[in-house]
Amino acid sequence: MKETIAEFIGTFILIFIGCLSVILANSTPNINVLVPAFAHGFAVIAIIYTYGHISGAHVNPAVTLALLVGNQVTFAKAIFYMVAQFVASILAVLLIVAILGNNDN
């Protein structure tokens, strides 16, 4: 259970910071591609250092699936991780929409 929660929080943080940084960079003059790149990178580093020892910090269903195929995680754990990752991603985007509004730009 603790591992699944770690995956949820890690994925939420990555999607929230990553997507928000891209949106803000695209809507703000004089911000280049390095800002979202560093935001993603630092988010991943923080997630790995914070949750890596708990769950492995997959924070991506493709990574979890690859580890399942490689017999590094059990089927049940992979399902729990992937559900947590999908739900966290959706909630992170919904929070971004709630904060910024549903703007077509």
- The CATH number linked to 48 is 1.20.1080.10
Is the pLDDT at 105 greater than 80? The verdict is no
High-pLDDT (> 90) share of the chain, %: 68
Q: What is the pLDDT of residues 72-83, one digit of tens each?
A: 999 999 999 999
Domain around 9: 2-100
Q: What is the pLDDT of residues 28-65, one digit of tens each?
A: 777 788 888 999 999 999 999 999 899 888 889 999 99
Residue carrying structure tokens 């988010």 = 43
Whether the CB-CB separation of 19 and 96 falls below 8 Å is answered with yes
Whether the CB-CB separation of 27 and 103 falls below 8 Å is answered with no
pTM: 0.87
Q: Note whether residue 105 is domain-resident.
A: no
In this prediction, residue 103 carries a pLDDT of: 67
For 73: left if phi > 0, alpha if psi spans -120 to 50, otherwise beta; the answer is beta
